[in-house]
Amino acid sequence: ANPATITTNTPTQITVTAPAGPPSAVNVTVTTPSGTSNALPYTYTATPAPTITSLTPANGPTTGGNTVTINGTNLTGTTQVLFGANPATITTNTPTQITVTAPAGPPSAVNVTVTTPGGISNPLPYVYVAAPTVSSVSPQFGPDSGGNTVTVYGSNMTLASHVRFGPTLATGLTVISDSQLTVTAPTGTGTVVVTVTTPGGTSTVGLGNPYYTYLGAPVISTLIPDRGPASGGDSVTINGSNLTYTDSVTFGGSPASFTVFSDSVAVATTPAHAAGTVNVQLHTPAGDSNTLAYTYDPD
C-alpha cells in the first residue's frame, strides 16, 4: 500500500526507491494511465541493529589520525562511525569488524557508535589522551655505560609505555604519578633528549629541560705535588680526563675543597691527615675515578 519514489522510467524499465515496510512479503504493482499491472512479490527483511563489543585501542591522541579497530556483529553496510559527535573515516568494513581513522577530539572520554541500515549500535567509551610533556630529568648526568636510575618529570605520563634517551629505549619503566616516572638509563654518548611515549603521542622539546648528558668515567693521571704536610692546606693539581663535572675529591676518604679548571685539570686543597700514604680519588656523576697515592709528611 506504500508508494515508492520513481527515479527513472522507460517503456521497459522503472527504477524506484523502496519505501519502508514491515518485515514481510508485499505485492509490487505499477500504475499507468492504462491501469494497474499484475503484482510481483517483494520481501522486506528485518535488518538487525549493530552491536559493538570492543575498540582496539580504546584510547589515542587528541590529534586523531590513528587507526582504531571496532569489533562486533551486524556491522555490514556501516554508514557512519561517531567518536562523540565527530565522524571517523571508515577504511574497512566486514560483518564483524570495522577499521576507522579516529577524528581529533578534546582530552576526555567519548562514546563511539556505529550506524548501519539496521540502526545505531550500543556505545563504547574511547579516551582521548593529551600528549605527554617532559620538563626535567634528575640526575641530568650519568655514566655512558648507563644503568643508573633517572627520574623524569612532566605531565600526562600515567599511560607511559616507552621512554627513550635519544633513539635508545630505556628499561625499568615505573610510573609514579601523572607527573613523575623512573627509568634505568641505557648506554649512550653526548647530550640527548629524553622523550616519553603514551597513547597520546610522544613528548616534544618545549618548555623545560628534557636533556640528559652522558659522561665518560673520570680518570686521574698525575698529582702535582704528590706529597705534602700532614697539616694540609697545600694546593695539588690533579691532571686527568673527564673532570668537568667533578663533585667531590677525597684524600684518604677525607673531602677536599677543589676547583675544576677544565676537563683535564682540577686543583684541590689537601685536608689535614695523619702522616702516611693515602689514596686520592675524584668523583663525577659518571662514577669514581681510579686512585693515585699521596703522601702526608710529618709536620
- Band of residue 274 on the pLDDT scale cut at 50, 70, 90: very high
What's the rounded mean pLDDT across residues 237-257? 97
**Contact yes or no for 128/59 (Cβ under 8 A):** yes
- Band of residue 207 on the pLDDT scale cut at 50, 70, 90: confident
**Contact yes or no for 241/266 (Cβ under 8 A):** no
Q: Which residues pair with 241 in a beta bridge?
A: 219
Residue 32 burial (CB count, 10 A):
8
- All domains of the chain in start order, with CATH: 51-128 (2.60.40.10), 133-215 (2.60.40.10), 219-297 (2.60.40.10)
Confidence at residue 269, expressed as pLDDT on a 0 to 100 scale:
98
What's the rounded mean pLDDT across residues 198-218? 92
Confidence at residue 48, expressed as pLDDT on a 0 to 100 scale:
86
Rounded Cα–Cα distance for residues 97 and 43 (Å): 28
pLDDT tens-digit series, residues 44-101: 877 888 999 999 999 999 999 999 999 999 999 999 999 999 999 999 999 999 999 9
Q: Does 167 have pLDDT greater than 90?
A: yes
Confidence at residue 299, expressed as pLDDT on a 0 to 100 scale:
84
Report field, pTM of the whole predicted structure over 0.75? no
Confidence at residue 70, expressed as pLDDT on a 0 to 100 scale:
98
Confidence at residue 20, expressed as pLDDT on a 0 to 100 scale:
86
Q: Does 22 have pLDDT greater than 90?
A: no
Residue 170: closest CA among 138, 194, 190, 189: 194
Helix (H, G, I), strand (E, B) or coil at 264: coil
Q: Taking all residues of the chain, what is their mean pLDDT, rounded to a whole number?
A: 95
**Contact yes or no for 107/128 (Cβ under 8 A):** yes
The residue with greater pLDDT, 20 or 121, is 121
Residue 246 burial (CB count, 10 A):
22
Backbone dihedral region for residue 287 (phi beyond 0: left; psi -120 to 50: alpha; all else: beta):
left
Confidence at residue 65, expressed as pLDDT on a 0 to 100 scale:
95
Q: Where are the beta strands (DSSP E) in 40-155?
A: 40-43, 51-56, 59-61, 67-73, 80-83, 86-87, 89-93, 97-101, 109-116, 119-120, 124-129, 133-138, 141-143, 149-155
What's the rounded mean pLDDT across residues 142-160? 95
**Contact yes or no for 130/196 (Cβ under 8 A):** no
Residue 86: closest CA among 71, 117, 54, 108: 108
